[in-house]
Structure 1
Amino acid sequence: MSRSKNLAILIGNVGQDPEVRTVGTGGRVAQFSLATGKQWTDAQGNKQDATQWHRCVAWNQGKYTLADIVEKYVRKGEKIYVEGEIEYRQWQDKDGQTRYTTEIRVRELMLLGGKSEGGEVKQERPAKTTRPNTTERADDFPAALMDDDDSSLPF
């Protein structure tokens, strides 16, 4: 039998404050966009930048209150680590057109801190994840994963 894995790991900046709502079943869901970027030098020696936007969705499920954590702690511009599954959905809009979306269904997230608007470094906060009793902090990550050059991001 073949094994498979659907895993997305992203480190980026939140593009807008999360939208949190309650669904018909009483559950809560938080949605936010996350920007990841890359830089390279083209054949002419010019520095190039590209930003990818990812739609992230976090649910409260059972004893895990991930949507509540997102609502309380995640803000536009924050650098975060997100781990989850890639989901593809389709639905019919009110005009009968089929619509498609790709989302990251968040299972874990970690606030990584970073620069405030005034350029000073914010104090790092403990990790906020779906796992209880997790004590990881941002400084547990190698420096290569936390590039503080956010000049190419549009916020």
Structure 2
Amino acid sequence: MADLKVPRVNYVLLSGRLTDDPQMTFTPKGTPVTKFRIASSRLYKDPLTGGWKEDTLYIDIKTFGELAERCHKRLSKGSPVLLEGRLNYRSWETSDGQKKSLIEIIGFRIQFLEKKAEEIQEEIPEEEGIIEEEPDEDLPF
């Protein structure tokens, strides 16, 4: 058993909706950082009642660099996303000596599941003028 190597996997795949608008800040070196929270729900059948129940988790997400810029630009409260990332654990001590900790997801791939109105508008070609043809007087019927 001592020779057994455990794979080092830290991978998360989630879907959900943003609970608020994303907030962008910058690291001391100028790298964009965007933070947001999603609500991710699952439905399950209650074994006691047989009825369906919903369980919702609220999960903190953090993105960096170009992805952070795109998230800040494209996402807003209620936006649906499908994201891939990894779990990250942080701990710190407050000024009054309390120990705090947080588990968050560092997103590295995010699929925007909804387009903003201005993006949809850009894809719709402007209507070309309608040209009505005059009836052909030479038709035999």
Which runs of 5 or more residues in structure 1 are unaligned? 117-121, 124-155
2:32 paired residue among 28, 35, 38 = 28
Count of aligned pairs: 113
| Counterpart amino acid of residue 55 in structure 1 | D
**In the TM superposition, what whole-angstrom CA distance separates every residue of 1:95-126 from its partner, at most 9, and x where no partner exists?**
22111000000101010128x9xxxxx96xxx
Pairs within 5 Å for 1:52-63: 52-60=57-65
| Counterpart amino acid of residue 50 in structure 2 | G
The answer to whether 1:100 aligns with 2:105 is no
Q: Secondary structure at the match of 2:113?
A: strand
Give the alignment's Cα RMSD to 1 decimal. Answer: 2.0
TM-score, normalised relative to structure 2: 0.73
Greater Rg by CA:
2
User: Using the alignment, how far apart are the partners of 2:89 and 2:95 within structure 1?
Assistant: 20
Flag as ranges the 4+ runs of structure 1 deviating above 4 A.
Answer: none
Identity of aligned residues (%): 25
User: Using the alignment, how far apart are the partners of 2:9 and 2:42 within structure 1?
Assistant: 25
* Compared CA separation, residues 93 and 41, structure 1 to 2 (3 A): same
TM-score, normalised relative to structure 1: 0.67
**In the TM superposition, what whole-angstrom CA distance separates every residue of 1:42-72 from its partner, at most 9, and x where no partner exists?**
2223332210111000011xxxx01100110
User: Using the alignment, how far apart are the partners of 2:98 and 2:29 within structure 1?
Assistant: 26
The answer to whether 1:12 aligns with 2:16 is yes
Q: Offset of 1:39 from its aligned partner?
A: 1.8
| Counterpart amino acid of residue 26 in structure 2 | T
